[in-house]
Structure 1
Amino acid sequence: MAENQSPKTQNSSDEIDLGQLFHLIGKGFNAIFRFFLRVFLYLKKNIFILIGLVILGLVIGYGLNKIISKRLKIEVIVKPQLESKNYLYDVINEVQSNISAKDSVFFKSIGIEKIDFSGLEVTISRVVEDVNSESDIKYLELLQSFENTDAISDIVRAELQNKSSFNHQITFYYKNAEFGKDFVNKILEYINSSKYYNGILEVYRSNAAYRIKEDEYLLKQVDEIISNYTNSLASKSNNTVSERIVLDNQEQVNIADIFEYKTGLIRDIETKKLELIERTEPVSIINLGQPQEEHKSFFGKNIVLIPFIFILVFFIISILLFLNKKSKTLT
């Protein structure tokens, strides 16, 4: 008898539990609905205040954007020679630090007697060049042909030096037009006044000039060898002529190697002449730009920031007032 009644009792308890569960779910949905209803009523009650705050914020933001500070700037493209890139950045940071500290003694020491600090600023950044992936792939394929040769080390070294010496842009900001140009020239002179790097450049230039002189002497000898070979070739036009040249030491040299050696000498002379032109100062000036006017907004372009701040402050005040009202009921 008791065994027959136990399943019915269990089923009725399950039905009660399910009923309580659905009741709790219903209460949860009602609570969420009431919350959204209260938020809607709150927004409806304060809609005109919120709209007024948005309009006021937009007007104030628009007005602040109209407050524009004008100053001039000169952009200078430079290229550090040797390993003077870190030196260049250190000097620019030094100059900017002295501008921030308004250290007129420092600027007098580099020849700037009367300095106008208003709007004065110096910045530096690397000039990012466009990368052509297709040309880079072709270049890598070309390098594979030099694999396991002595030339590959020279090529890699030259490429590493080239990649580590990007062009850089120094930007000078100022307000006084007459003072600005003189300031730029004095700072550039100060950058290139390093005795250490100027001493190294002098050695480089001396070595390059000596290398050119020696290469030209060797090139003259090679031209004489080729000329003698050409003359002998003309005199023995009816006979078979060897492709090798016998020198005074009885060693035979392939004529193709002679021409390749001559080409290498010519390229070396061209490279050293370019070094004499480029390496005249520790930091070469690629382009000295003309003064241009810069317009800088006082507040920036984000005019929606002020309306957002106004609305946020309004909500915070409303929450604090609500909490204060509830706290009084508890006491």
Structure 2
Amino acid sequence: MNKNGPKDQEDQEIDLTQISKKISSLFQRFNTFLFRCIQFFVKNVIAVSILLLVGVGLGIFLDQTQKNYDNHIIVAPNFKSTDYLYSKINLLAAKIAEKDTIFFKSIGIQNSKEINKITIEPIVDVYKFINNNGLNLELLQLMAENGDLKSVVKETTTSKNYTFHTIIVSTKAITDPKNTIQPILNYLNTSPYFREVQKISISNIQQKIKAKEGIIGQIDGILNEYSSANDNRQKSDKLIYYNENLQLNDIIKTKDSLTKDIGTLKIQLFNSDKIIKDSTVIMNIKNTKSINGKLKFVLPAALILGFIFINFFISFYRKQSLKAQQNSTI
């Protein structure tokens, strides 16, 4: 028989009583806090109403007058000029921060004060990145061993190897491509070094196309000769025809491969007309990120919270002053 049974039961009852008292105390504190909040707003209803109206009105005015727009330029840097592109964008961003209007006028941008900022980010395309070079898959796997793959594919050294990148130009108002976008693209394509590389690359591509077209011409000649010979061939030559037909299949496959290579080279030639090739420009996208366009909600809340904080500070200061006076008189 357990002699400690009644005592344990009493302890449990005491614990339950204490817990219920604590819960009741919490509810009372919450009710008191809620009452004080209501009392504060009732007491200051006029001031709060004025702040609410002023905040909403000012917010609507600012939302209508201070609009921000994003302009996206999707570009593909040629001739291994990705680092050059990023350094140029960083320079433009620094000049915007410095408000160097003279510099921007020198590159053809007259209203540089309308530009808030300029940034660049890669368009992540892991599959194309891997397909371009089989070693890239091994590289990603090696880098992912010490970190998350998602962070690796967006890491700076990796992201610069993607084909396409987006330049984002943020402006204070609707802008025209001739006044902003085109001068920036012209500025990015003024590198003397990469212009020389461009000339050599274009010449190399043209030579490759010419050489492959010459080989296709020779293959066409062989096929024409085979076709003429096949018309005069007797039916008893079936064994020889079968062996030659196997060689003919290899020749046709070679021609098909060369034709695909020429198509790829012609696309490269088309994209090589600029150092930084722009593929798409999307203009004047209204920026609604962060608090843009939401000031009619943010300002009233900020003003009311500021008013509450000031009243709380004044009340706290008065209480502490009274305590200090009482302590000094004792």
Assess same fold via TM > 0.5. Answer: yes
1:158 & 1:15 partners in 2: Cα distance? 70
Counterpart for residue 264 of structure 2: 271
Whether the 8 Å CA contact 2:77–2:275 is kept in 1: the answer is: yes
Identity of aligned pairs, percent? 23
Larger fraction in helix: 2
2:169 & 2:211 partners in 1: Cα distance? 43
The Cα shift of 1:192 comes to 0.4
SS at match of 1:83: coil
Whether the 8 Å CA contact 2:55–2:296 is kept in 1: the answer is: no
The Cα shift of 1:177 comes to 6.2
1:184 & 1:98 partners in 2: Cα distance? 16
Q: Tell me: CA distance 1:221–1:57, structure 2 relative to 1, closer, same or farther (3 Å).
A: same
Counterpart for residue 149 of structure 1: none
Q: Tell me: CA distance 1:58–1:127, structure 2 relative to 1, closer, same or farther (3 Å).
A: farther
Deviation readout 1:39-91 (Å, 9 max, x if unpaired) = 35534543413544543343232122222225776543322223223322221
Whether the 8 Å CA contact 2:125–2:162 is kept in 1: the answer is: no
The gaps in structure 1 that reach 5 residues or longer are 1-6, 140-151, 246-251
Counterpart for residue 3 of structure 1: none
1:174 & 1:33 partners in 2: Cα distance? 51
Deviation readout 1:226-284 (Å, 9 max, x if unpaired) = 22222222222523143334xxxxxx972211111111111111111111111111111
Whether the 8 Å CA contact 1:243–1:254 is kept in 2: the answer is: no
SS at match of 1:171: strand
1:1-331 → structure 2 map (5 Å cutoff): 35-36=29-30, 38-39=32-33, 42-43=36-37, 45-49=39-43, 51-52=45-46, 54-66=48-60, 67=62, 68-70=65-67, 74-110=71-107, 115-126=110-121, 128=123, 156=134, 164-171=162-169, 173=171, 181-239=178-236, 240=238, 241-245=240-244, 254-289=247-282, 297=293, 299=295, 301-302=297-298, 303-331=300-328
Q: Tell me: CA distance 1:26–1:271, structure 2 relative to 1, closer, same or farther (3 Å).
A: closer
Whether the 8 Å CA contact 1:219–1:262 is kept in 2: the answer is: yes
Q: Which has the larger radius of gyration?
A: 1
1:45 & 1:161 partners in 2: Cα distance? 57
1:37 & 1:328 partners in 2: Cα distance? 31
Deviation readout 1:109-161 (Å, 9 max, x if unpaired) = 4355xx33432234234475899xxxx7xx9xxxxxxxxxxxx9866479999
Q: TM-score, normalised by structure 1?
A: 0.69
Q: TM-score, normalised by structure 2?
A: 0.69
2:167 & 2:135 partners in 1: Cα distance? 25
Deviation readout 1:13-58 (Å, 9 max, x if unpaired) = 9999999989977986786576456535534543413544543343
SS at match of 2:113: coil
Q: Tell me: CA distance 1:209–1:62, structure 2 relative to 1, closer, same or farther (3 Å).
A: same
Whether the 8 Å CA contact 2:124–2:162 is kept in 1: the answer is: no
SS at match of 2:118: strand
2:161 & 2:279 partners in 1: Cα distance? 17
Which residue identity is paired with 1:281?
A: K
1:213 & 1:192 partners in 2: Cα distance? 28
Q: Tell me: CA distance 1:316–1:257, structure 2 relative to 1, closer, same or farther (3 Å).
A: same
The Cα shift of 1:293 comes to 7.7
CA RMSD after TM alignment: 4.5
